[in-house]
């Protein structure tokens, strides 16, 4: 078996979060990262997909406010349209510029219940783009 070196951090995100059905474990985007290579595993359900959500900054380190998660969309600067970061299909690798997510604290949300066969979403972060 080959030993591989990665030029940035690697994230291992549990899908779903312990005791959950569709939400992954939340994860912070490491500082200075330019791209995220998201390896979407096989998902439960025909045509199941995942989308990306961001934690609203109403939740601060020193407060116990309720969590507010919002779907991540990015603006297409060529025509001003909004593009949702959703519809990521199973068994694919998707490269996402961190500038499209805004960084911060993120999570994945599946379109169907994933609790019967939990999996891991792997993310290779790249600082050089």
Q: Is residue 42 part of a domain?
A: yes
pLDDT tops 70 at residue 25: yes
Q: Given this model, what pLDDT does residue 92 score?
A: 95
Q: Which of 102, 106, 110 is nearest to 123 (CA)?
A: 106
pLDDT tens digit sequence for 80-117: 888 888 899 999 999 999 988 888 999 999 999 999 99
Q: Is residue 4 part of a domain?
A: no
* Residue 99 phi, psi dihedral angles, 5° rounding: -60, -25
Q: Is residue 1 part of a domain?
A: no
3 state SS for 39-57: EECCCCCCCCEEEEEEECC
Number of domains in the chain: 1
pLDDT tops 60 at residue 129: no
Give CA 65 to chain center in angstroms: 22
pLDDT tens digit sequence for 27-67: 999 999 999 999 999 999 999 999 999 998 876 666 666 88
Q: Is residue 2 part of a domain?
A: no
User: Domain of 51?
Assistant: 10-126
Q: Which residues contact 77 (CB under 8 A, 6 or more apart)?
A: none
């Amino acid at each position: 078996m080959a030993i591989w070196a990665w030029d940035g951090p690697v994230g291992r995100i549990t899908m779903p979060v312990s005791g959950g059905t569709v939400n992954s474990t939340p994860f912070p985007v490491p500082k200075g990262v330019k791209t995220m290579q998201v390896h979407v595993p096989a998902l439960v359900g025909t045509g199941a997909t995942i989308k990306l959500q961001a934690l609203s900054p109403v939740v601060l380190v020193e407060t116990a406010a309720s969590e507010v998660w919002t779907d991540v969309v990015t603006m297409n600067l060529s025509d001003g349209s909004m593009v949702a970061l959703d519809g990521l299909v199973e068994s694919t690798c998707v490269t996402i510029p961190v500038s499209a997510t805004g960084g911060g604290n993120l999570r994945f949300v599946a379109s169907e219940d994933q609790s019967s066969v939990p999996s891991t979403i792997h993310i290779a972060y790249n600082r050089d783009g």
